[in-house]
């Protein structure tokens, strides 16, 4: 049980807490009442504000809408005024631009094109909005006049500024590929930059707005003429320069070159100087065409629309290309006539030209890419013509060597090398410069399966076979010609000289290697022929030495007086030897052995035989009293006989 004192204290504590809670509750209640009052006041204020805002909105919205309508009306008025100004401006275009159009575009192209743009827009406006308006006809006429002026300006610019490329510049352009030294690239400026820009602007306008392609014809006609004249100018330059220095010198790029752009070919005996000049000129013109055509195409791509470029270029190059092809066919025609005349040195002009055409063909094909088939086929057609005529020349030359007549008056009196031999060897040596070309000529006439798989080895074999054929024909003809000589010894000297000339000529050049491709023993065969002819010649001395050989001498006993018959026989032997020696030396002194080594060799062989035989003869009869006048019969000592033989084949002795 809780003591009374503690219960009393606990009650007081509870009463105190209760009193505090009541005070707190009373405070909260007062605050709630104040808050309610404030809320009521705020609601009243907001209600009043809402009422006023609604009144304001009802007043402003009609004003805003009215203002908006007024702004729209103002914009419409401004647009209408702007449209009116725009429309009215079209009616003024003719009068505003007529003076500019009448004066033309020269020197003020941009301003002129600006006026043409205004006229074009006016034309479009009237066509769409007032097709019956007299203003339409006015601006149409003005547009056509302006277009004509632009076409005229295009022609004028092209005509004024398109210049023929000088020969020296073309030569520098060509030589750029051949020079070993690094040099500045040769650039052709066909049109000045300012003129080019104007031409490009006009061409683009004519295509886009003028709906006119006639200017392309104007372009190709003017440029075609310049291209053709440039190439003809180069050819004329060669002709004028030929009288002094052969191949023209080009000074266009100073201090860059040590010699002419192309080295002058080695002069061949029997060739005409003018023929060489014409050949060089044609070769250079072919190269010039390729370079100039490449340059023309680069220029054309800036001026002519892409889908018209190939056709325009095709037309542009026709005159120059046709000129080259015609000249090439003329060369073929001249070669054909030369073959008939058996003038094979002239036919040789085809070889360097054909070689150059085939070397240049890849560049040609690249330049002509995209042109008509007829244009592309022109060069291959010319190459075929040249190969055919070249093969014909080779065939006829071989036949001519075989069938050259044995005319007595045409034979060398001294038995030296025949003109036919020197000409044949010269022709074959010149073929060495064009082995591949000549081989291709021969291959072009082959119908065998091996010809279809043509290569350099096949070409070399064909050429070797051909050379052997010519040499075989020549040998047969020389044998036939040698029979014209009545003296077998002179005939032998003639054959010896010709065979020796052939062999030495083969050995001095690459001909011997070419011959060896199909005839390994050719060199040995010629040496055997040469030796055979020397032996034949030596037999001519038998009629001299037979008088004094031991087998033909009379037998007599030493110390026994000779009978008259024996003395007479000895005298006849001396006389026969002396007369024969003098006669042979007189005749054979006029003969010729041009090869010094062979001449000395023949003399030495003969001298040894004759001196030994004559020496033995003299020793045998030196002390035999067969005559009272020994000096009458013993006319020569052994060394004198040797000296006489040393003067054989020497007309100056």
Residue-wise pLDDT tens digits, 50-107: 777 787 777 777 777 777 877 787 677 557 545 544 556 678 887 888 889 898 999 8
Residue 526 confidence class, pLDDT cut points 50, 70, 90: very high
Residue 255 backbone zone (phi > 0: left; psi -120 to 50: alpha; other: beta):
left
143, pLDDT greater than 50: yes
For residue 363, pLDDT beyond 90? yes
**Of 130-144, 431-445, 602-616, highest mean pLDDT:** 602-616
Q: What is the pLDDT of residues 610-635, one digit of tens each?
A: 999 999 999 888 788 888 888 899 99
pLDDT at 286 over 90: yes
Question: What is the per-residue pLDDT for 246?
Answer: 44
More confident call, 153 vs 87: 153
Around Cβ 543, how many Cβ atoms within 10 Å? 13
Residue 530 reports pLDDT greater than 60 = yes
Find all residues with CB under 8 Å of 105, minimum gap 6, and list them.
112, 113, 149, 150, 153, 202
Q: How many CB atoms lie within 10 A of CB 353?
A: 26
Q: What confidence score (pLDDT) does residue 184 get? A: 61
pLDDT at residue 288 is higher than 70 = yes
| 146 and 101 Cβ atoms separated by less than 8 Å | yes
Q: How confident is the model at residue 182 (pLDDT cuts 50, 70, 90)?
A: very low
Asked if pLDDT for residue 244 goes beyond 60, the answer is no
Q: Does pLDDT of 423 surpass 90?
A: yes
Q: Are 406 and 348 in contact (CB under 8 A)?
A: no
CA-wise closest residue to 412 among 400, 398, 422: 422
Q: Answer yes or no: is pLDDT of 256 > 60.
A: no
Confidence band of 129 (pLDDT split at 50, 70, 90): confident
Two structure tokens written together for 278? 């014409």
Q: What is the pTM of this model?
A: 0.75
């Amino acid at each position: 049980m809780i003591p009374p004192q503690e219960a009393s204290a606990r009650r007081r504590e509870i009463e105190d807490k209760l009193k505090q809670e009541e005070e707190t509750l009373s405070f909260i209640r007062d605050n709630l009442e104040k808050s309610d009052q404030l809320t009521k006041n705020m609601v009243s204020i907001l209600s009043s504000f809402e009422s006023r805002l609604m009144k304001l909105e009802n007043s402003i919205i009609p004003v805003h809408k009215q203002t908006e309508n007024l702004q729209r009306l103002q914009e419409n008025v401004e647009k209408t005024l702007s449209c009116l100004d725009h429309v009215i401006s079209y009616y003024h275009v003719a009068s505003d631009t007529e003076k500019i159009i009448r004066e033309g575009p020269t020197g003020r192209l941009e301003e002129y094109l600006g006026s043409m743009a205004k006229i074009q827009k006016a034309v479009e406006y009237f066509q769409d909005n007032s097709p019956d308006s007299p203003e339409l006809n006015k601006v149409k006429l003005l547009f056509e006049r302006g277009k004509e002026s632009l076409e005229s300006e295009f022609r004028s610019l092209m005509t004024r500024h398109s210049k023929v490329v000088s020969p020296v510049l073309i030569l520098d352009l060509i030589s750029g590929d051949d020079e070993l030294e690094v040099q500045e690239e040769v650039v052709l400026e066909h049109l000045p930059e300012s003129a080019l820009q104007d031409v490009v602007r006009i061409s683009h306008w004519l295509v886009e707005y003028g709906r006119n392609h006639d200017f392309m014809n104007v372009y190709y006609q003017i440029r075609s003429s310049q291209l053709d004249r440039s190439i003809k100018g180069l050819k004329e330059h060669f002709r004028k320069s030929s009288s002094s220095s052969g191949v023209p010198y080009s000074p266009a790029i100073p201090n860059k070159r040590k010699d002419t752009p192309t080295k002058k070919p080695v002069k061949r005996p029997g060739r005409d100087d003018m023929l060489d000049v014409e050949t060089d000129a044609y070769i250079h013109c072919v190269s010039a065409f390729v370079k100039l055509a490449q340059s023309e195409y680069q220029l054309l791509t800036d001026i002519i629309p892409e889908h018209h470029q190939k056709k325009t270029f095709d037309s542009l190059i026709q005159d120059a290309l046709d000129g080259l092809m015609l000249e090439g066919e003329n060369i073929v025609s001249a070669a054909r006539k030369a073959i008939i005349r058996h003038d094979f040195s002239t036919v040789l002009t085809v070889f360097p030209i054909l070689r150059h055409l085939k070397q240049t063909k890849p560049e040609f094909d690249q330049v002509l890419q995209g042109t008509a088939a007829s244009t592309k086929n022109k060069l291959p057609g010319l190459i075929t013509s040249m190969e055919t005529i070249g093969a014909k020349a080779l065939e006829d030359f071989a036949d001519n060597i075989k069938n050259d007549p044995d005319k007595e008056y045409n034979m060398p009196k001294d038995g030296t090398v025949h003109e036919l031999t020197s000409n044949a060897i010269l022709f074959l040596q010149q073929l060495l410069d064009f082995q591949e070309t000549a081989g291709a000529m021969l291959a072009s006439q082959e119908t065998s399966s091996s010809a279809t798989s043509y290569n350099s080895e096949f070409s070399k074999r064909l050429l070797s076979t051909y050379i052997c054929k010519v040499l075989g024909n020549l040998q047969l003809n020389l044998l036939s010609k040698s029979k014209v000589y009545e003296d077998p010894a002179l005939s032998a000297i003639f054959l010896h000289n010709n065979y020796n000339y052939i062999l030495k000529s083969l050995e001095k050049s690459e001909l011997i290697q070419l011959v060896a491709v199909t005839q390994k023993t050719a060199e040995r065969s010629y040496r055997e022929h040469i030796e055979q002819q020397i032996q034949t010649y030596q037999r001519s001395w038998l009629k001299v030495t037979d008088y004094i050989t031991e087998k033909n001498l009379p037998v007599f006993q030493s110390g026994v007086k000779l009978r008259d018959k024996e003395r007479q026989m000895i005298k006849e032997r001396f006389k026969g030897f002396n007369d024969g020696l003098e006669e042979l030396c007189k005749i054979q002194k006029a003969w010729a052995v041009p090869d010094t080594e062979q001449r000395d060799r023949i003399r030495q062989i003969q001298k040894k035989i004759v001196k030994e035989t004559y020496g033995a003869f003299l020793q045998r009869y030196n002390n035999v009293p067969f005559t009272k006048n020994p000096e009458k019969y013993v006319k020569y000592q052994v060394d004198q006989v040797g000296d006489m033989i040393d003067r054989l084949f020497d007309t100056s002795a």
